[in-house]
Amino acid sequence: MQAITIPKVLVSGILMVSGIYLTSCQSKSSESSQRDILAEVVDTTVSPKDDFFKYAVGTWLKQNPIPASESSWGIGSMVQEETYARLRGISEKSAKEPGSEGSNEQKIGDFWFTGMDSVSIEKQGINPVKADLDRIAAIKDIQGVLTEISLQHTYGIGSLFSPYIFQDEKNSEEQALHLYQGGLGLPDRDYYFNTDSRTINIRKEYKAHLQRMFKLLGNDEATATKNMNNVYALEETLAKNSRKIEDLRDPYKNYNKMDLVALDKLAPSLNFKDLFGQMKMPQVKSVIVGQPEFYTAVDKLLKTTPIDTWKAYLTWNFVSSFASELSSPFAKENFYFYRTVLRGVKEMKPRWKRVLDSEERYLGDALGQLFIKNYYSDKTKKRYEELVKNIFSTYKERIEKLDWMSDSTKTKALQKLATVVPKVSFPDKWKDFSTLSIKRDSYVQNIIRANQWWYLYEVNKIGKPVDKTEWGMTPQTYNAYYNPSNNEIVLPAAIFFIAGFTDEQLDDAIIYAYAGGSTIGHEITHGFDDQGRQFDEKGNLTDWWTKKDGDEYNKRAKGIIEQFDNYVVLDSMHVRGEATQGENIADLGGVVLGLEAFKKTEQYKSGKKINGFTPLQRFFLGYALAWMGHSRDEALANKIMTDVHAPGFLRVNGPVVNIDEFYEAFDIKPGDKMYVAPKKRVRIW
């Protein structure tokens, strides 16, 4: 369950690469005596004409099974392993030498100390949150329910609904409160209703999990069963009135701005003026409601649901939110359902990694300052800023040459592209944690205090101008994103790492593929995907396309929707083409941009082979490298149901079949499994 933490990014990017910093974009020698990552991972027993992904990275997949503590394993996991080691060193040093009171080192050190103090955690058991549970147990009426819901949101618990602070989509200069559907214990509304055997079993396991958690809290068998049934029924009603992930992609249908009078008419039982006051945001004068029908259903539930059911629901939400930081019975039960059942993970990560995951979530910028100081340089940052410029320049050329877009729309598209703000490697201004209190008293209490700090950090933005210098990711994060309301791409330092290889071992083909194509090109294309294209150069939701151009775009987008709808994974699960279209469009656009930029390099022009691969072949192999990895079946099924990204292997095989040069590179002909007729190839950018 999610509550207000960091700004919600409408279109988020990728999980990618790892390791040693890349320090050049120059082509390298064609000598094959040096190590070559592409040659090491390729599987020549598979034909690229049958399954390009398995050909490109199949040897690595065979030699690297998924660890018992993971739901998936890939090139992105490698950077995380290196990052873990580095952050552990920072944390252990800070615990021994915490520095002055209130410093980042003190906060990191004390957070680490309490997280690693498993003896105290076991001794404390449920005691760190007993007062909170007693408060919930004492609720007597619906006003008490609403008061507790408000309080839980300030703790970072997403009970009943999901508020978040983000730019007003139609006024990108101002921060606004958004109210979305939420309050579910299962990952998505479809888990409550799908009738396939896999999902039916997950529902059965979820109910058993609820029952066991109530028993851990001291309920007898009958009471635990009653509470389980009541909580599940309440969540099922919330799910029934929630939109599918496909329907959440339309920014217009999910934008319903209301003043407090209109909001109270929508759901009078919530008494929003008092609710917002208790949620510590009395300055709210208007709200953007994503799914009004959800709040109508909430209003009805508040009138008809017994108080005891609300108490059970709020107790469950509270304990579930902090179970992984409580004593081992709670942590293990939480892990069993949310990691083993849902994702197939066999065992917990070691405690030190779990603590680092939490530390990254709550103190990521504090860690980031020390991480960049120790492991990154301004010189490297400048090199990647140059690569960003090359990709942008290529996109400009591609737009200018489009044969399906009118000149008037091209002018606006080029204006938008010219105003995209690239944020590369790390921020110029770091978050200030001076008011965040971290102590050596209790791990759970540190988590709660951090949640409360982040909540107020976000709430205090309401109605204020947008700070466009802020980053929504830390530099040590192996991910990237495009934010349509800021019209910016954010590329953390770690996205440019590759594990175990020095710069001299990485030629331009690799760099332009996985850094230029699957990252930079991917993210900038998000500005023009099914969602991003509906925002103008200032980040405002507005229709800047002619009708004819919009229709032409939608026709091409329909092609990629149909392409991915036809992919079947596991037994009978189809990729959700509508839900994943934005990422699939960005993947295709990213490969095209990376390739066109690569064609300007000396390596491509020379045509010289490296380890038997032509420059063009190496580019496509380098792109596959960016998605090298595999997942457990449970995790794959979860991804299909909840994620707007297609599975990694289809993020390779899906876009490349639409690119003519791919056929040239690997001599793919009609009759080959990877062959798609030219007329059926999707062409957008």
Tell me whether the CATH fold assigned to 11-80+377-427+470-680 matches the one assigned to 126-325. Answer: no
State the pLDDT at residue 275: 96
Backbone torsion region of residue 102, taken as left when φ is above 0, otherwise alpha when ψ lies between -120 and 50, otherwise beta: left
Spatial distance between the Cα atoms of 2 and 19, rounded to a whole number of angstroms: 30
Spatial distance between the Cα atoms of 389 and 521, rounded to a whole number of angstroms: 11
Averaged pLDDT, 403-422: 97
Beta bridge partners of 568: 574
Side chain identity at 144, as an amino acid letter? G
What DSSP assignment string belongs to 539-554? S-B---S-HHHHHHHH
pLDDT band at 7 (very low <50, low <70, confident <90, very high): very low
Q: Give the H/E segment covering residue 491.
A: strand 488-492
Domain locations along the chain? 11-80+377-427+470-680, 126-325
Stretch among 307-311, 374-378, 422-426, 531-535 having the lowest mean pLDDT = 374-378
CATH class of 11-80+377-427+470-680: alpha beta
Spatial distance between the Cα atoms of 533 and 552, rounded to a whole number of angstroms: 13
Averaged pLDDT, 407-429: 96
β-pair type (162-168, 171-180): antiparallel
Burial class of residue 206 (count of CB atoms within 10 Å of its CB; 0-12, 13-18, 19+): buried
State the pLDDT at residue 249: 93
Three-state DSSP at 163 gives strand
Spatial distance between the Cα atoms of 508 and 582, rounded to a whole number of angstroms: 27
pLDDT at 20 over 70: no
Which tens digits make up the pLDDT trace of 638-664? 999 999 999 999 999 999 999 999 999
Centroid of chain to Cα 658: 26
pLDDT band at 500 (very low <50, low <70, confident <90, very high): confident
In contact, 645 and 631? CB cutoff 8 Å: no
State the pLDDT at residue 551: 95
pLDDT band at 25 (very low <50, low <70, confident <90, very high): very low
pLDDT band at 3 (very low <50, low <70, confident <90, very high): very low
Which tens digits make up the pLDDT trace of 475-490? 999 999 999 999 999 9
Structure tokens at 470: 């802020």
pLDDT at 238 over 80: yes
Between the CA atoms of 121, 123, 129 and 135, what dihedral angle is there, to the nearest 10 degrees?
180
In this structure, which topology does domain 126-325 adopt according to CATH?
Neutral endopeptidase; domain 2 (1.10.1380)
DSSP letter at 610 equals B
pLDDT at 560 over 90: yes
Percent of the chain with pLDDT over 70: 95
pLDDT at 437 over 50: yes
pLDDT at 4 over 50: no
State the pLDDT at residue 72: 97
φ, ψ of residue 258 in degrees (nearest 5): -140, 145
State the pLDDT at residue 527: 95
Stretch among 210-224, 238-252, 259-273, 497-511 having the lowest mean pLDDT = 497-511
State the pLDDT at residue 501: 77
Spatial distance between the Cα atoms of 477 and 16, rounded to a whole number of angstroms: 10
Structure tokens at 682: 């999707």
Side chain identity at 592, as an amino acid letter? V
Stretch among 280-289, 377-386, 574-583, 625-634 having the lowest mean pLDDT = 377-386
Average pLDDT across the chain, whole number: 93
